[in-house]
């Protein structure tokens, strides 16, 4: 349908879906299913998210001509579907044109592509690297006419920067702005998005619909939480976070209000019907982000199940809970690997945790392999003192066994180090760092404790695990220990975790100097030691498994420091 007679009602479906990068055929099938759903709900138009047909972010796949051709074919096929008289579509796809390869959308109705729009402001910071593979749109393009309504379609970063794209679209006659996005999650991101859109509404005077992708892609989590801000700067609708859904929203033209603006339609469209979902609080949001990231990484990469070492400590316990919640109890195998320093409490706590979660639990002692390594090295180590080397042999024996189980049964190893440990190198390469994915990689130790307490009293939506206490309270209450020597605790080697985490947040998230951190009340020697540990552990982090991004600055995508680095603040 391409009738340009102005309508006073427009039903816009927002497709908040979970595409898979590179699976163009499956993404097209998902888009078709969503359009059919939207048609049943009476939608006139379906708004999909950024680069939906490709999956986002496609990174260097965009440099592959065959991939671009597959995406273009899918866009043409999907446009052809609109010949059925059903909803029109706005969907993201990469397009190669004479002006370059663009992060684009197609607007299709009546069986044809009626317009293309190209992203103008390419992000090149943090997790984004779009200038590497895309060229910015060659010029500002005006609104599209959809059944008598002029729609502006900026793409994601086009509304985040200082370029006056929204204001220019308003001046060009746009009545509503529809924004396809691929905006990754970090803690508190929903509020940030709301403020960005409110700022643009103030500048352009138009209502803005913000459609955001859902799902895990490697380390990034796209949390959905699509929404709209009306021209009165209030929340017009709010879709759910971490849930795949197609919601139809109803918009009505207020001709009296439009006329009062002397021909400017800035007050002309009002959302009369749409969802108003509650956004989760921070512990729930972080937990669900970790759960979604683990589920999508395992499923999209084709693993049947996962295995992890269940030590009786807090980190492995919460990873086990996340695995059961994300995948189901039948897809997790937990393995306790005791040695002479493993306490009776840890043996009991690990078993209690596995029993509470309902997953398979095996005990594989490591006495013989560790003693075998030590015996083999006796002559080489003669005359040296026993220490960290011997401790690390225990960790590496466990890592070897987990990888053997992975190889034999096709299970992906879930690794369980938290951000505090990864920051200061309190982890063993080729030992407890072995694994394919780490759901808590971007959570500091105290955040791990907070999420464990939260999970013991809540079951997140979509979780497959049981209710009640799934992480025994003794695991939460006892002093953390690697149990690699007699009576060991983490605080033998590290500052107390509340102190360590605050210093690390200052250094990593906020890039604060030593003097600033000391001014917060921290001991200078402790701060300089933590800074030194942070820098020298970079080589370990480069070899670590990927993991869910939770904070504004995770290791890898957001924080790219050199391995060889002699800078010390003030030293």
At residue 260 the predicted structure's pLDDT band, cuts being 50, 70 and 90, is: very low
Is 421 annotated as belonging to a binding site? yes
Give the pLDDT score at 4: 55
Rounded CA separation 518/523 (Å): 6
- Is there a single domain that holds both residue 381 and residue 302? yes
The CATH number linked to 19 is 3.60.110.10
395 pLDDT higher than 80: yes
Q: Is residue 99 domain-shared with residue 238, that is, in the same domain?
A: yes
Q: Do residues 488 and 341 make contact, with C-beta atoms less than 8 angstroms apart?
A: yes
Last residue of a domain, one of 275, 307, 324: 275
Parallel, antiparallel, or unpaired for β 112-118 and 100-109? antiparallel
Domain count, the chain: 2
324/459 same-domain check: yes
Query: Residue 220: is its pLDDT beyond 90?
Result: yes
In a domain, 208, yes or no: yes
Share of the chain above pLDDT 70, in %: 94
328 and 239 belong to one structural domain: no
Mark whether 290 is an active-site residue. Answer: no
Give residue 263's pLDDT: 42
77-103 average pLDDT score: 96
For 260, the 3-state DSSP assignment is helix
Q: What is the pLDDT of residue 440?
A: 97
Could you give the angle at the alpha carbon of 228 between the alpha carbons of 224 and 234, nearest 5°? 130
**Annotated catalytic residue 156:** yes
Give yes or no for residue 493 having a pLDDT over 60: yes
Nearest to 322 by CA among 364, 367, 353: 353
Q: Does residue 291 sit in the same domain as residue 423?
A: yes
- 247 and 372 share one domain: no
Co-location of 208 and 312 in the same domain: no
- CATH number of the domain bearing residue 456: 3.40.50.620
| 324 shares its domain with 365 | yes
Give the pLDDT band of residue 386 (cuts 50, 70, 90).
Answer: confident
- The whole-number pLDDT of residue 262 equals 37
3-state secondary structure of 496: coil
Which residue segment(s) compose the domain that 333 sits in?
A: 283-487
pLDDT surpasses 80 at 1: no
Q: How many residues does the chain have?
A: 571
Q: Is 468 known to sit in a ligand binding site? A: no
From 71, 72, 116, 119, active-site residue: 119
Task: Provide the pLDDT confidence category of residue 158 given band limits of 50, 70 and 90.
Answer: confident
Q: What DSSP state is assigned to residue 144?
A: E
Is 511 among the domain residues? no
Catalytic residue among 71, 72, 130, 156: 156
Whether residue 569 is contained in a domain is answered as no
In this structure, are 100 and 243 located in the same domain? yes
- Domain match, 231 and 341 both: no
309 annotated as belonging to a binding site for a ligand: yes
277 annotated to bind ligand:
no
pTM above 0.85, yes or no: yes
């Amino acid at each position: 349908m391409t009738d340009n007679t102005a309508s006073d009602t427009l039903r816009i479906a927002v497709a908040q879906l979970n595409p898979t990068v590179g699976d163009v055929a499956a993404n097209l099938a998902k888009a078709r299913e969503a359009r059919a759903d939207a048609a049943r709900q009476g939608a006139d138009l379906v708004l999909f998210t950024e680069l939906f047909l490709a999956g986002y972010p496609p990174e260097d796949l965009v440099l592959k001509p065959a991939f671009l051709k597959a995406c273009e074919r899918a866009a043409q096929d999907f446009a052809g579907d609109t010949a059925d008289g059903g909803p029109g579509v706005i969907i993201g796809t990469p397009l190669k044109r004479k002006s370059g390869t663009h992060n684009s959308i197609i607007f299709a109705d009546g069986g044809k592509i009626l317009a293309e729009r190209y992203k103008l402001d390419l992000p090149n910071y943090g997790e984004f690297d779009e200038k590497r593979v895309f060229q910015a749109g060659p010029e500002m393009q005006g609104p599209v006419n959809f059944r008598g309504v002029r729609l502006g379609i900026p793409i994601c970063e086009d509304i985040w920067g200082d370029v006056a794209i929204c204001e220019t679209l308003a001046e060009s006659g746009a009545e509503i702005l529809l924004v396809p996005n691929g905006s990754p999650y970090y803690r508190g991101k929903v509020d940030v998005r709301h403020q960005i859109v409110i700022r643009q509404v103030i500048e352009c005077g138009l209502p803005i619909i913000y459609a955001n992708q859902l799902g895990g892609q490697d380390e990034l989590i796209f949390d959905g939480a699509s929404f709209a801000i009306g021209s009165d700067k209030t929340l017009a609708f709010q879709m759910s976070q971490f849930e795949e859904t197609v919601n139809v929203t109803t918009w009505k033209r207020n001709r009296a209000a439009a006329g009062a603006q002397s021909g400017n339609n800035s007050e002309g469209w009002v959302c009369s019907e749409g969802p108003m979902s509650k956004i989760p609080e921070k512990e729930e949001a972080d937990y669900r982000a970790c759960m979604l990231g683990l589920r999508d990484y395992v499923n999209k990469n084709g693993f049947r199940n996962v295995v992890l070492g269940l030590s009786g400590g807090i980190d492995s316990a919460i990873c086990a809970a996340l695995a059961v919640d994300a995948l189901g109890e039948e897809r997790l195998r937990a393995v306790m690997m005791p040695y002479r320093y493993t306490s009776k409490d840890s043996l009991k706590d690990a078993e209690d945790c596995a029993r509470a979660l309902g997953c398979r639990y095996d005990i594989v002692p490591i006495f013989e392999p560790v003693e075998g390594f030590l015996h083999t090295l006796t002559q080489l180590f003669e005359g040296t003192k026993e220490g960290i080397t011997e401790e690390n042999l225990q960790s590496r024996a466990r890592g070897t066994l987990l990888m053997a189980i992975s190889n034999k049964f096709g299970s992906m190893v879930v690794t369980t180090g938290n951000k505090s440990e990864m920051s200061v190198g309190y982890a063993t390469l080729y030992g407890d760092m072995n694994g394919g994915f780490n759901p808590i990689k971007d959570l500091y130790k105290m955040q791990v404790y907070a999420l464990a307490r939260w999970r013991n009293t809540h079951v997140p939506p979509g979780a497959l695990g049981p209710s009640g206490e799934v992480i025994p309270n003794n695991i939460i209450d006892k002093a953390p220990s690697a149990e690699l020597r007699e009576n060991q605790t983490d605080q033998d080697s590290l500052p107390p975790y509340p102190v360590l985490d605050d210093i690390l947040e200052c250094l990593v998230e906020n890039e604060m100097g030593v003097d600033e951190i000391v001014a917060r009340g921290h001991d200078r020697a402790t701060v300089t030691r933590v800074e030194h540990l942070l820098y020298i552990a970079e080589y370990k982090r480069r070899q670590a498994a990927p993991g869910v991004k939770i904070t504004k600055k995770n290791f890898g995508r957001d924080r790219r420091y050199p391995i060889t680095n002699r800078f010390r603040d003030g030293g």
